[in-house]
Structure 1
Amino acid sequence: MFGGGGMNPRKMEQMMEQMGIDVEEIDATEVIIRQEDGTEIVFDDPDVTRMDARGQQTYQVIGEPTEREGSEPETTETESAAADDIPQSDVDLVRERTGVSEDEARDALEATDGDLAAAIDHLE
């Protein structure tokens, strides 16, 4: 890890403990790094180490990476919950007032955080 130059692993562990560094091996089966351009760097069966030095966590991933085209980002539970928070009656009201589809009405309500007047104004 630090290139101890043949240092006794036990001595290295004692020194790290004295410096307030905690090291933990993580039993990971896969690590995926998603990049802005949509590609993913994938490590199958990697060796992962988490190092905590005075509250700052660092992860080290060792393995043979492969690169692949990414998929669409998954909807998080928070995003799903936000979509579910909009009552159907609000969607129907926006549809009636503006003549748009249900999806367009829901999108407008989501974009305006459920504000009916703002959603209608946005669509008109």
Structure 2
Amino acid sequence: MFGGGGGGFNPQKMEQMMKQMGIDVDELDAEEVIIRTEDTELVFSSPDVTRMDARGQETYQVIGSPEERERGAGEESGEPALEGGEDAIPDDDVEIVATRTGATESEARAALERHDGDLAAAVEYLE
């Protein structure tokens, strides 16, 4: 599908095809990515992060080797859990939830606060 023979593909053609399908791809200059589960945190330092926007649906790809630590380990070392306290729900997150669900920004913010900033849980709650 992606080129004939030779086993390779042309990145320029792939990018052109993605644009034709309405998919935008951007490399992000991320310093750190943290994935929090109930018990642990996966901390990616200096990861390669790619954002793909396919007609309003954003997908992020994180490439790197994470350090695994127990939840709360960052707070004990002096790092704040959320910068700015409990009300530190990023406006971008509010916009993503509102766009995805059709909710107002205040409804999206309330859902995010209710679910401790968890985008997926907030979207599921509003849908």
**Shorter-chain TM-score tier:** 0.5 to 0.7
- The ranges of structure 1 where at least 4 consecutive aligned residues each deviate by more than 4 angstroms after the TM superposition are none
* 1:9/1:36 CA distance change after superposition, 3 Å: same
Q: Percent identity of the aligned residues?
A: 70
- Match for residue 110 of structure 2? none
Aligned to 1:40, the other structure's residue is in SS state strand
- Match for residue 17 of structure 1? 19
- Match for residue 67 of structure 1? 68
Aligned residues: 76
Contact 2:23/2:54, CA 8 A, preserved across alignment = yes
Q: Which runs of no fewer than 5 residues in structure 1 stay unpaired?
A: 80-124
Larger Rg, first or second structure (1 or 2): 1
- Aligned equivalents of 1:78, 1:53: Cα separation in 2: 27
User: Under a length normalisation based on structure 2, what TM-score does the superposition of the two structures give?
Assistant: 0.54
Over the aligned positions, Cα root-mean-square deviation in angstroms equals 2.3
Give yes or no for the alignment of 1:35 onto 2:37: yes
- Aligned equivalents of 1:44, 1:50: Cα separation in 2: 17
- Match for residue 105 of structure 2? none
- Match for residue 49 of structure 1? 50
Aligned to 1:68, the other structure's residue is in SS state strand
User: Under a length normalisation based on structure 1, what TM-score does the superposition of the two structures give?
Assistant: 0.55
Give yes or no for the alignment of 1:76 onto 2:78: no
